[in-house]
Amino acid sequence: MRVEVVGVGVLGPGLPGWAASAPVLAGAAPYAPEESLALPPPAGLSPTERRRTSPAVRLALAAASEATAASGLPPASLETVFASSNGDGQVVGAILEALSEPDGVISPTQFHNSVHNAAAGYWSIATGSTSPSVSVGGHDQVFAAGLLHAAMRVSATGAAVLFCAYDAPLNEPLAQCRPTTAPFAAGLVLAPPARDERRLDPAAIARLEIRYRPEPAPPPAPAETALDALAAGNPTARGAVPLLRALSRREAARLVLPMLEDGCIEIAVAPC
C-alpha cells in the first residue's frame, strides 16, 4: 500500500509539536524532556465538553489537530483511525476504585470516557465530523496496527485519513501491570499518492510504502539516548518515534515494526 504523509503532529515530553520537534527527532538539536507536559484545551469543544475531557483525550486531540492543520484539509472531511494501547487508563482506574467502595457509585462522565473510542468521539464533536471512524487497540504493536489500518482505508477509499495514536501513563496499581513512563501522541494525515509519480501533493512530506510480512521483526536495539528511552517506555512511541525520525531527516529509510507475535510491517520511506 502506498500513501503520502501530508500532515504530522506530535506531543510528548520535550516534543512540543512537529515544527519544534523535527530538529530534535532528526538529531540536529538536543532532546530535553521536561518533567510535566502541558496539554492544550481541545479547540472546537464547548466549555462544558472541555471540562469533561481527560488528559488522554486532550493528548490525542492535540496531535490530531496539529496534523490536520498542517495538511490543510477540512477536519470534518477526514475518516479517522485512533489507536491506543492503554486507552484512558486513568479513567478506568478511577472506575475500578469507585467499584471497590461500599456504594459503588460511578460517575456518568467517567463511564462514557472509559470506552476505547472516547478520543474519537470528542474529535467528531469538536470538528462536526460524521465521517467513518475506527478505534484500534494492539498492545505493544498498537502503532503498527493503527498505521496498517489507516493505510488500508486510504487504499480502499482513495480518500485522505487522519491517523492518531496515543498512550498516557496509568495510575497505580494498574501502572505496575502496564508501565508507561510518559504521555506521547502522534498524528499523521495520510493521502493517496498521485497517479503520476512526478506529481506530488504540495503538502506531502514523504511517500510511504507499507506491507505486512508474515515473519517476526528483528529484536529492538537497546535504548542509548533519552529519546530511545521515551520510545521504549510508551507503546505508541515505540512504533511512532522511528517513523517520525525518518520523516524529520528527509531521507529514504526502511523500517520494520513488529505486528502480532509472528508478523511485522515493513515501511519504505521516500522523502518528497
DSSP string, 135-166: EE--GGGHHHHHHHHHHHHHHHHSS-EEEEEE
User: With a cut of 50, which residues of the chain have pLDDT below it?
Assistant: none
Residue closest to 131 by CA, chosen among 151, 161, 165: 161
What lies within 8 Å, CB to CB, of 203 at 6+ separation is 6, 7, 70, 71, 72
Fold for the domain defined by 2-271 = Peroxisomal Thiolase; Chain A, domain 1 (3.40.47)
pLDDT, one tens digit per residue, over 143-177 is: 999 999 999 999 999 999 999 999 999 988 888 98
* Residue spans per domain, the chain: 2-271
pLDDT, one tens digit per residue, over 231-263 is: 999 999 999 999 999 999 999 999 999 998 889
> What is the grid cell recorded at 218?
528483528
Return the number of other C-beta atoms located less than 10 Å from residue 254's C-beta. Answer: 10
Torsion of CA 177, 117, 153, 140, to 10 degrees: -10
Output the pLDDT for position 43.
87
Is-contact 166 236, C-beta < 8 A? yes
Interstrand relation of 161-167 and 253-259 (parallel, antiparallel or unpaired) = unpaired
**Phi/psi of residue 132, each to 5°?**
-60, 145
Output the pLDDT for position 113.
85
Output the pLDDT for position 200.
54
Is-contact 122 53, C-beta < 8 A? yes
